[in-house]
């Protein structure tokens, strides 16, 4: 299966379990891989045969910048559902949401949740 990668999307949101996270907000990163057949798009040079990256970004941004949630898992599920619902050609979507500065004592480069959902 062919793939479209959207890497390192950066957002500022108010997601988290703790009140301070909801009040102050923090940076989040999102990576998405969409699996779908791309041969027709490549042969015909036809945007209608693929996913419009700008539209997909806007859908992801609406979720990441939108209603605060507690869990990275919730953000990932909402993104996967939105992409599968809006792009019938997408057969599988992989979504990774990273919180680079979680409120955890100790050195780290962040925490992330990655999910894979299929049609």
Active site members:
99
End-to-end, the C-alpha distance of the chain in Å comes to: 13
Which residues, 6 or more positions from 49, have their beta carbon under 8 angstroms from its beta carbon? Answer: 38, 40, 41, 89
Which tokens is 111 given? Answer: 């925490």
Residues 90 and 43: their CA atoms lie apart, in Å, by: 18
């Amino acid at each position: 299966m062919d793939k479209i990668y959207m890497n390192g999307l950066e957002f500022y949101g108010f997601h988290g379990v703790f009140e301070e996270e909801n009040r102050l907000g923090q940076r989040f990163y999102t990576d998405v891989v969409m699996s779908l057949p791309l041969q027709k798009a490549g042969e015909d040079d036809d945007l209608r045969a693929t996913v419009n990256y700008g539209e997909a970004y806007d859908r992801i941004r609406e979720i990441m910048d939108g209603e605060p949630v507690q869990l990275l898992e919730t953000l990932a599920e909402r993104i996967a559902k939105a992409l599968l619902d809006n792009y019938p050609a997408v057969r599988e979507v992989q979504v990774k949401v990273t919180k680079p500065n979680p409120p955890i004592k100790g050195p780290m480069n962040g925490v992330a949740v990655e999910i894979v959902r299929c049609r």
